[in-house]
Structure formats: structure tokens, C-alpha cells
Amino acid sequence: MKKIQAIRGMNDLLPADTAIWQYMEACVKRALAGFGYSEIRFPIMEQTDLFKRSIGEVTDIVEKEMYTFEDRNGESVTLRPEGTASCVRACEEHGLLYNQTQRLWYMGPMFRYERPQKGRYRQFHQVGIETFGLEGPDIDAELLLLGYHLFRQLGLDHCVSLQINSLGSDAARAAFREALVKYLSAHEAQLDEDSKRRLHTNPLRILDSKSPDTQALLDGGPSLADYLDESSHEHFTRLTQLLDAAGVPYSVNPRLVRGLDYYSRTAFEWVTDRLGAQSAVCAGGRYDNLVAQLGGRPTPAVGFAIGLERLVLLVQSEGRLPEGLDASVDVYLAAVGDVQAEALKLAASLREQLPQLRLGMHCGGGSFKSQLKKADKSGAQVALILGEDEAAEGKVAVKYLREDRPQQSLNQNDVAQLLTSVASGAQQEAK
Ligand code: HAM
């Protein structure tokens, strides 16, 4: 019979992978807590219109990448391709934006029907950060500082770089768009196929084109920077000053535009050259009009999302991973002979006294030698050995697996005290 496999572009994460994910998620959560952000969770499925109305009808995501289907009631629903729209919907629905500011984050799977390749999947994961009710450039700077802080924590600041741009007000963008279409229409024959199509649907995305010829053509065309309205210009200048003062490195990329329609003013991306074609690790910007567009009161907002698969790939190849990450336990309890009952009792008592301790108990019998082999393989720092003699005397042998220290024999009542340092090491890792 043909075996059933996972859906293309949707990955299983095996224990060796989840160890890295958990470490990375812990780093991300610690950074977010350090900046005073709170977690919000919302469903992975929403009414299709939410994404159409926010991301934009003529975007790649809405036109060709959404997992959309009818539920049993005939309603059109969509697996979320991103989190910003859902976050706005949830905040509005629960009155979180009324006369207050919010600094929020979420983490979880997103779904896009893209062509899978390294760093690009159909189910992928993002940590998203969204702030509401703050209109000055100080919050834009805070977010960029948060991203920078996180990359430094993960030891990745040497291989990512921040690009920023201002998309200006709606009116400014409309004026630029008109000038761009006029210019490019006069040179339409020189455009690549994708850009020809975009000229009549979403011309700003042509700025993003990977074709060198199109990029060369754009050199002679109008620049978005020249169309910026006064207040967007001021906002952007102040943002760059704040980044300079905070020591966050960046470069201004006047051709940086985003693939989602809701942005205005600040737009940014952290890019890397270490992941082949998938260069964006983290991206976002301001979306001051989205809340009103979805039926709420006008509310300034800015945020970004990090692609966690891309972050994991970078951390694996370029970052700092703590030692012993693949260890599933700190202590391995070997039970040699007819001592299962005593071993279970000792394990229960240790777990109660040291809730942070990761203690694995050997099951399935076997010789002393084979149990010690398993202990070593588990990554544990210490093996506790309970044989029939030890059990009869209320003792246990302590063997250090990663240190050159002699084996000890201890009263079972004294083991918890000895293991406190191992447990506090485990606690440090978890933080
Ligand atoms: P986005 O640029 O579509 O923005 O996605 C953000 C990040 O998610 C990308 O930079 C990339 O790292 C990751 N990503 C996107 N698609 C895939 C994929 N198919 N496979 C793996 N990783 C992927 C947004 O989603 C906005 N909601 C960000 C935002 C939040 N803007 C304001 N607030």
C-alpha cells in the first residue's frame, strides 16, 4: 500500500529540531518580555474577506497563495497567510484599541501556497510583533531596536542587515505610482514579463524586480523619495536620527516596497545573503490606515514578523547555540536488577524536590553497561545508579558523565541537595 506522506511544503519537526526551536523561541520570548510586550493568540483560520480587505486583492498572497475553501456551511474561510490582519481583527473585536496603546506579539503557523524551496514553505512559522496607538517615530525605532537586540542575542548580527524606506502617505504613493506608470509605460518593451503584468495591477512591486534590466530601467525613472509628503519625510528623518543615536546599523533602500498593501510610511526588512533566494528574515512597517480600513477608528500601527524557519536556518549555520542543546535530560537514573519499585520512588521524590530537574529513568532492564551507554547517549550530566545492594541500604551511586570526578555513594535523602546545581543549570538554560 502507498504510504501517506506529509503535504508538500509542510514539515515535521523531529526531536533534534525541536530542541533548537525551543531554544530559539525562548530567546525570542525573553527579548519580547524584556521590551514589555504581551502575547495575543488568535485562530489560524479566518473569514476570507479579512485577508482580501487587508493584504489587498491584487497581491501575490491573495491572488495565488491562500489556502481558501468553503467550510461545511458554505462560508469561505482561509488559513491565515500572516498575522497582522487577524491581530487587528481580534483587537477590534475585543475593544483593545479603544483609548489605549498596545504592544503585542504572537507566534505560530502561517500558510501560503508558494513553491517550496530552502527557507520557503507552505506551512511556516512567524513571530509577529504589532503595536497600536503610537504614531511617532520613537515606536518605529523601538521595534527596530528590538529586532537588532534579538539578532545580537542569537549571535546573528554579523549576517543580517537592516534596510529601511518610507512609503509616504497614500496621496504621495498615488502620485509616485502615476509618475512611475507613465515612465515605465513609455519603456514597456524593456520590462521583464512579471513587471509587464504588474504595470497594470501593482506597479510599485516592480521596484522589487530581480531583473537587472528592469532595475537599470528604474535608475532613470522617478524616485519614491522625491514624492514623499512633508510629514512622512520628517517622520523618516527623525527615525534615522533615533537609529543613529541607538547605534542600530541600517541602510536606506529607496526601492524597498512590501508585498502587502496595508503599509504606509516606514517599511523595513532584515535581509541576509546566507539563505539563497530567500533573503528576508524579518519584515514589516507602519500600517496606519489598516484599522480604519477594517471598520475601526483610525489608529496608528506598526509591526513586523520574523520567519522562524529562516531564523532557525541562520542560527544553525551562523549563530550561537548553547552546548548540550540536544540533551533530553540532566540526570539519568539507571535501575540495575530487581529495583524498579525503588527506582520509581526515588525518581518521584527527586522530581518533587527539584521541579526544574529533567530526570530520565531507565525502563526496560538490561545490564549495568548497557544502561550506562543509554545514560551517556541521553546527554545527561549525571547518572544515578541504583543496584540491588544500594536499594537495600537506602543508597545510590552518583557517576559524573561529563566531568573527571570520582564516583560517589550517597544516602538517597542527600541526592537532591547534590543535584541542586544540575537543576539550577537546567533552569538557566530554560530562561
Ligand atoms: P511578510 O513579509 O509577508 O510580512 O512575512 C514576514 C516574514 O515571514 C518574511 O520576511 C519571511 O521571513 C517569512 N516568510 C514569509 N513567507 C514565508 C514562507 N513561505 N516560508 C517561510 N518563511 C516565510 C508579513 O507577514 C507581515 N504580516 C509582517 C508585519 C507584521 N507587518 C506589520 N506587522
pLDDT in tens, 360-380: 999 999 999 999 999 999 999
Tell me, what's the pLDDT at 426? 53
Which ligand 1 atom is the nearest neighbour of the CA of 126?
A: 8
Residues 6+ apart with CB under 8 A from 41: 106, 108
Is pLDDT above 70 for 104?
A: yes
| Ligand 1 centroid distance, CA of 126 (Å) | 7
Among protein residues, the one whose CA lies closest to atom 12 of ligand 1: 307
Phi and psi torsions of 332, nearest 5°: -120, 125
What's the pLDDT band for 424 if we cut at 50, 70, 90?
A: low
Q: What is the mean pLDDT of residues 200-213?
A: 91
* Burial of 350 from C-beta contacts in 10 A (0-12 / 13-18 / 19+): buried
Cross-strand pairs, 223: none
| Ligand 1 centroid distance, CA of 262 (Å) | 14
For 187, other C-beta atoms within 10 Å of its C-beta total 13
Alpha-carbon gap, residue 198 to 177, rounded angstroms: 12
Task: State pTM to two decimals.
Answer: 0.94
Query: In this structure, what DSSP letter does residue 3 have?
Result: P
| C-alpha cell, 359 | 530526570
Q: What is the pLDDT of residues 387-397, one digit of tens each?
A: 999 999 999 99
Please tell me whether residue 276 adopts helix, strand or coil conformation.
coil
Alpha-carbon gap, residue 426 to 377, rounded angstroms: 18
Q: What is the pLDDT of residues 169-185, one digit of tens each?
A: 999 999 999 999 999 99
Please tell me whether residue 288 adopts helix, strand or coil conformation.
coil
The set of protein residues with a Cβ atom below 6 angstroms from ligand 1 is 82-84, 112, 114, 119-121, 124, 126, 128, 130, 259-260, 280-285, 287, 303-305, 307, 309-310
Is pLDDT above 70 for 428?
A: no
